Amino acid sequence: MFSKITGRFTEDKDTKEIKRLRETLEEADVIVIGAGAGLSTSAGFTYAGERFRAHFADFAAKYGFADMYSGGFFPYDTLEEYWAYWSRYIYINRYMDAPKSVYEKLLELVRDKDYFVITTNVDHCFQKAGFDKKRLFYTQGDYGLFQCSEPCCQETYDNEEIISEMLQQQKDMRIPTELIPHCPHCGKPMTMNLRADDTFVQDEGWHRAAERYENFLRTRDGLKTLYLELGVGYNTPGIIKYPFWQMTLKNYRSTYACLNYGQAECPNEIRSQAICINSDIGEALERI
Ligand SMILES: [Zn+2]
């Protein structure tokens, strides 16, 4: 259905598009925000460079990692070392605040609107910025939750306390053995509640959020809606991007806005209903 893609804009066109987005935001009855990794990148959650070196210099020296992702995928020999790495990773990407206030700026723009957020981000930035928890659907998990690695049950566990212990007590890139987290039901090692394969646990909270999102869409059907897509790439386009295109096509009163540094585009079928802004998301939101 969506064959041709258009919309790589230049600086001047961006200015016009930002004006259109401002007007659309003001006039919209409903705003559905879809957020991907690019939004957190814009907020300063970068996984290489200075931020990586500041927290992982020892791992970089031992294994030659150049960014946080490589270290996260590495098959460590021991769980002590694995958790030394992951506790730092979770702490700085989940419990520390984002360096820039992009999420706060976004909230300012939609606070008084009837909005809902669907996101593939697992860094908790929406909640930290003060978005209404009942208007959020985290589809891919949360760095702040553990689950059984088997998994033997559909439960998740807050990890803030244990992560902080691991962080404080690690030495020479190892945590003390007694801090390795195990499932309280079956005793198997715990893992992060992140969707990587079919072992991802969808707990009660996940199902409730999924239901709220579906209800929100159903009860606002046909209204003047802005589908605001922020930093969504093509890793999992079936979660946000493609449904946003389809819902826009179905509702002639709706607008699809795509803010994406380098990949702001839309299919020709919805061109007349689309706003594409190819710049840093934080900067674009500031200009609205
Ligand atoms: Zn278990």
pTM of structure: 0.92
Distance 281 CA to ligand 1 centre (A): 40
pLDDT tens digits, 120-149: 999 999 999 999 999 999 999 999 999 999
Please tell me the predicted confidence (pLDDT) of residue 2.
Answer: 67
CA of residue 56 to ligand 1 center, whole Å: 30
pLDDT given at position 14? 79
Helix axes 160-169, 79-90, angle to 10 degrees: 110
Ligand 1 centroid–CA 36 distance in Å is 30
| CA 145 to ligand 1 centroid distance, Å | 14
What are phi and psi for residue 31, nearest 5 degrees? -125, 125
State residue 13's pLDDT score: 74
- 189 Cα–ligand 1 center, Å: 8
Q: How many residues does the chain have?
A: 288
How many angstroms is it from 3 CA to the middle of ligand 1? 45
Token readout for 135 is 């208007």
Dist. CA 157 → ligand 1 center (Å): 12
Scan for tokens 């999420």, then name that residue: 103
Q: What's the 181 CA to ligand 1 centre distance in angstroms? A: 11
Q: Which residues touch 132 (CB under 8 Å, ≥6 apart)?
A: none
Residue 166 alpha carbon to ligand 1 centre in Å: 21
Token output for 6: 């258009």
pLDDT the model gives residue 200: 97
Which pLDDT value is given to residue 30? 98
Helix 79-90, helix 49-63: angle, nearest 10: 170
For 29, what's the count of Cα atoms within 13 Å in the CB-facing half-sphere?
10
Structure token digits, residue 59: 């791992």
Residues in the chain where the model's pLDDT stays below 50 = none
The whole-number pLDDT of residue 205 equals 96
**Can you give the three-state secondary structure of the chain, one letter per residue?**
CCCCEECCCCHHHHHHHHHHHHHHHHHCCEEEEEECHHHHHHCCCCCEHHHHHHHHHHHHHHHCCCEHHHHHHCCCCCHHHHHHHHHHHHHHHHHCCCCCCHHHHHHHHHCCCEEEEEECCCCCHHHHHCCCHHHEEECCEEEEEEEECCCCCCCCEECHHHHHHHHHHCECCECCHHHCCECCCCCCEEEEEECCCCCCCCCHHHHHHHHHHHHHHHHCCCCCEEEEEECCCCCCCCCCHHHHHHHHHHCCCCEEEEECCCCCCEEHHHHHHEEEECCCHHHHHHHC
